[in-house]
Structure 1
Amino acid sequence: MASHEKFHFQSIEEVKEKVAELGANIHLSEDLSPLSHPVKVGRKTSPNAIAVLPMEGCDSEPDGSPSELVERRYTRFAAGGAGLLWWEACAVVREGRANPLQMMLTKENVGKFAELLKKTNAAAAAANGADHRPLNIIQLTHSGRYSRPEGHKGAPLVPQHDPLLDPRVGLAPDAPVVTDEYLDALTEKYVQSALLAKEAGFDGADIKSCHRYLLSELLASHTREGKYGGSFENRTRFLRQTIRAVRKAVGDDFIIACRFNVFDAHPYPYGFGVDQNDAWKFDPTEPMLLVKMLVEEGVDLLSNSAGNPYYIYPQVTRPFDQSSMGIPVPDEHPLESVSRLFDFTRRIQQAAGDVPVVGNGYTWLRQYAPYAGAANIADHSCSFMGLGRSSFAYPEAPRDILTKGEMDPKQCCITCSKCTQIMRDHGRTGCVIKDSKLYAPLYREAREEAQQREHSFQ
C-alpha cells in the first residue's frame, strides 16, 4: 500500500506512470469506441455502454413521489446521454425508508412516476436524438440497519446483531431482530413495488443488496438462527425467493437487476466476502457463488459494490480526495482503491458470462475515467462504465465522451465528499461545487442544523 494523495495528474501518461509505480491493475485505452456500443440487457437494449449509477438525493416528497429536485436530477441525467439510468433507492415499505424524503412508489403516486419517466425520456431524445431512449432501472430497497423513516432518529431493523455497528445506530445488544415472518411477508412488498415500477414505465427493477442495508446484511448473517441465517443457502434465501416472485409477477420482458456487495471490509462473522481471519482480505468463494446463483435465477443485469458508506472506510466504496467529517484518511492510495473495485467487477463479469455487469469506481479518475471504462469494456472486464458522484457534478459527461471524445476537467467531480456530508447531515443532496447555486445553500443549511442537533444532545 502507498500513502493517500489527492488527484494531481495533468496527463494520461502521468496516470499510467503512477499506476505502474503502484502495481495497480488499471488499464487505460485512448480508443473510446467501446463506450458507444449498444448493450443488450435482458430483452432490451441500452443505446450505449455508459450508465448513471444510483445516487440518492434524499429529496422526494413526503409521500415518496418525485419532487421538483428529483425531476431536475433525472431530466439532467437523461439529457446527459447515458444509455442506462439506474434510478436511486426506492423504499418498498415505509419503515424501510433511509430518510423521511426517500423515494417510494405507491398505488397513489404511480402516475407521478409515469409522468416523470415521460419527461425523462423526452429530455433524452431532445438532447441526444429522437432514437436515443435510455433504459430506466429503479432500485428497490429496505434500509434495514439504516432505516430512518421519521425525524432525525434512526429506527434500525436488523437481521443480526453486530458489536461494531450496533452502537453506531443506538441499537441495544438485546434489541429484537427482524423475524422470519417479517421477511416472509417482505418478499411480497418487493413484488408490489416491481409491479408498480412496470406500470409507471420503468424497464426494470434492482433488488438492492449492497452497502449493508437489509438484504446486504442478510448475506452476511452468519450468526442469525432460522431459515434466513447461518449457511450460504439460508443467507441467500430471501434474495432468491424475492427474485423468483418478482419474475413470476412481472414476466420476462421486465429487467431484473441486482446491485450487491462483493466485499464488506467488515470482520467475520458479520461481513460478506471477507477472510475469516482478516477482514481486509477478500475471499471470493461466496461472492462468486452468489453471482452464479443470480445468473441461474435469471437476473438480467448486475452491478457490484463494496464496503459500508456509513462506516469509517468509505474508500472501499468510493475513493476520494477528501472524505466527510470524522472519517480518517485511509492508508492506501486512491488508485489502489480504484483497482480493487475494478478487480471485483472483472471477477463478477467473468463469472456472469453474457449477463452485463455495470462497473464502478471511476469518478476519482476525473477526465481519465473514459479511458479506464473503454479499456475495461474492451477486455470484457465489464459491460458498462458506471458513473456515480460524477453524475451529480457533471451530468453531461456521457454526451461529451460520446460526441467530443473527452470529459471537461473543469466540470469533473473533485471527490470532496460534500454530497455525502449533506446526506450525513440529513439534508437534500447534490454537487456543492459544480452545482453550487442550488446546493451550496442546502449544504450550509444541513450543516448548521446538524451542529444544532449535536449541541442539543451534549
Structure 2
Amino acid sequence: MVDKVPERIFPMSNIHLSEPIIICGHNIRNRIVVPPMANFALRKGNNLVKPEHLQYYTAYAVGGAGLIIVEACSVVEAPDILSIYDDSCIPGMSSLAEAISTSGAVPLVQLLDEGIFGSGRIAIEQLSKEELLSRKNLFLKAAVRCMKAGFAGIELHAAHGFFLNRILENNWRTDEYGGVFENRVRLLKELIAEIKEACGENFIVSVRFGNPNYNELVNTAMIVEQAGGDLLDVSTGCSEYGEIPKDFEFDSKIYAASLVKKVAHIPVICVGNITTGQQAETILERSYADMTAIGRGHLCDSDWGNKAIAGIMPILCKNCRTCMWYIDNKKCPVNKRK
C-alpha cells in the first residue's frame, strides 16, 4: 500500500526561502537556519561530542536546512556542556562538522564563556583589564580550533545575558572597556577583527546579539559590520524588548531584526516563533531579514526545511508550557509520536 502523499498547503514553492546565499565564499543552499539549541539530556558524562549529537545534527542537514549553528560551546572547561577549550575537543567537533557539511548544510559553532556566566558571582567590573583581555583570548583560541575542526565559521554569543552580552549592556567599568557605548562595544569589535585575522577572510564570523535599547541595537550591528563581521543574528539581550508597532504581525525579536536589516550591508538572521514556511517566506519577502532561524520547528520535525520549501506543512510544536525537549528530547510529546 502506498503512503498518502503529504498535501501541499501552498500553490507554489517558497521562492525566497529556497534562494541560495553566499557568505565568505560558502554557498548556503537556502535561507533556513537551525539556531543553536542545546539538548540538556546530553549534558551528562562529559563535555565532548556524543553519537546523539551527530545523529540529530545530521538529521537537520538531511532535512534541508541551509545553515546549522551548533549549540553554544564553552571556551573554558565546563562540565556537562559541549566545550572547545583545548585541542582534545577537536576530534569530536571535527566529526560533527563533517557530518553536517557532507549532508549538504554549512556548519557554524556558537561560542560562549560558560565559566563567567555560570558562576553568577563575578561582575564585569570586578575583572582586571588583564583578565578581561585573557578571556577575550579564550574566544580567539576557540575560534581557531573550530577552524581546524573544519567548521565554516563561528558565532559569538553576545545575547541572552551571557558574558559578551553583559559587557555590551551591563558594564560600568571605568577603563576603555566600560561605561559609554563606544567603550562597551570595544572588546567585541577587537575580538571580531582578531578572529578574522587569525582564521582568514573565508571564515564566517557571526554575532548573536540583542538589546532592548533599539538605538544601541542598531549601532552594535554597524560596529560588528565595520569590524569585519559577516553575519548578524538578532535575538534578545539581557532583557526582553518592549512594545512594538501594533500592525507588526511577528515576534518582537523579528521586529528588532527588521530594524537592523534597514542599516546592515551584511546578512541578517531573524528568529522568533516562526512555525511555517509561509511565515518565513513572508518575512523574507518583506525584507525583515535575509535568513530565518527556526528552532522548535526543527526540534519537532527535522525535515522542516525540505517540507517548508516544498509547501508542505511540517509537524508542529505543541507549545508545552515547559519545553520537554530541553529537559529530555525523549519526553517531547511530538518526538514520542514520530
TM-score normalised over the length of structure 2: 0.87
Deviations along 1:298-324, one digit per CA (max 9) or x if unpaired, are 11111100155xx8x6xx69xxxxxxx
2:287 maps to 1:340: no
Of the three residues 227, 232, 235, the one matched with 1:305 is 235
In structure 2, do the counterparts of structure 1 residues 144 and 234 end up closer, same or farther at CA, with 3 Å as the change threshold?
farther
- Does the CA-based 8 Å contact 1:205-1:255 persist in structure 2? yes
Task: Give the Cα–Cα distance (whole angstroms) in 1 for the partners of residues 316 and 123 of structure 2.
Answer: 37
2:90 maps to 1:186: no
In structure 2, do the counterparts of structure 1 residues 109 and 381 end up closer, same or farther at CA, with 3 Å as the change threshold?
same
Percentage of pairs with the same residue: 22
- Does the CA-based 8 Å contact 2:169-2:211 persist in structure 1? no
**Rg larger in 1 or in 2?**
1
CA shift, 1:120, in A, is 2.8
Aligned to 2:318: 414
Higher relative contact order (CA 8 A, sep 6+): 2
- Does the CA-based 8 Å contact 2:160-2:236 persist in structure 1? yes
The amino acid across from 1:238 in the alignment is L
Aligned to 1:249: 198
Where do 5+ consecutive residues of structure 1 fail to align? 1-11, 13-27, 125-132, 148-153, 161-176, 264-272, 274-283, 318-330, 439-458
Of the three residues 81, 84, 100, the one matched with 1:120 is 100
- Does the CA-based 8 Å contact 1:393-1:431 persist in structure 2? no
Task: Give the Cα–Cα distance (whole angstroms) in 1 for the partners of residues 237 and 11 of structure 2.
Answer: 28
Aligned to 1:104: 83
Aligned to 2:33: 51
Return 373-382 or 336-345, whichever deviates more: 336-345
- Does the CA-based 8 Å contact 1:158-1:214 persist in structure 2? no
Of the three residues 76, 80, 88, the one matched with 2:63 is 80
- Does the CA-based 8 Å contact 2:33-2:69 persist in structure 1? yes
CA shift, 1:156, in A, is 4.1
In structure 2, do the counterparts of structure 1 residues 422 and 31 end up closer, same or farther at CA, with 3 Å as the change threshold?
closer
Of the three residues 188, 213, 235, the one matched with 1:239 is 188
CA shift, 1:93, in A, is 1.0
Aligned to 1:201: 150
The amino acid across from 1:102 in the alignment is I
Aligned to 2:170: 221
Task: Give the Cα–Cα distance (whole angstroms) in 2 for the partners of residues 79 and 73 of structure 1.
Answer: 10
Task: Give the Cα–Cα distance (whole angstroms) in 2 for the partners of residues 414 and 156 of structure 1.
Answer: 37
Task: Give the Cα–Cα distance (whole angstroms) in 1 for the partners of residues 325 and 319 of structure 2.
Answer: 14
- Does the CA-based 8 Å contact 2:76-2:138 persist in structure 1? yes
Task: Give the Cα–Cα distance (whole angstroms) in 2 for the partners of residues 52 and 417 of structure 1.
Answer: 22
CA shift, 1:178, in A, is 2.7
Aligned-residue CA RMSD in angstroms?
A: 2.9
Where do 5+ consecutive residues of structure 2 fail to align? 1-8
CA shift, 1:211, in A, is 0.2
Deviations along 1:223-273, one digit per CA (max 9) or x if unpaired, are 33322210112111111111111111101111111011132xxxxxxxxx2
In structure 2, do the counterparts of structure 1 residues 252 and 431 end up closer, same or farther at CA, with 3 Å as the change threshold?
farther
The amino acid across from 1:104 in the alignment is S
Task: Give the Cα–Cα distance (whole angstroms) in 2 for the partners of residues 83 and 391 of structure 1.
Answer: 12
Task: Give the Cα–Cα distance (whole angstroms) in 2 for the partners of residues 238 and 429 of structure 1.
Answer: 36
Alignment of 1:30-429 (within 5 A): 32-58=14-40, 59-60=42-43, 62-94=45-77, 97=78, 100-105=79-84, 106-122=86-102, 124=103, 133-143=104-114, 146-147=117-118, 154=119, 156-159=121-124, 177-263=126-212, 273=213, 284-307=214-237, 338-353=250-265, 355-363=266-274, 366=275, 369-402=276-309, 404-408=310-314, 411-419=315-323, 427-428=327-328
In structure 2, do the counterparts of structure 1 residues 390 and 178 end up closer, same or farther at CA, with 3 Å as the change threshold?
farther
In structure 2, do the counterparts of structure 1 residues 223 and 109 end up closer, same or farther at CA, with 3 Å as the change threshold?
closer
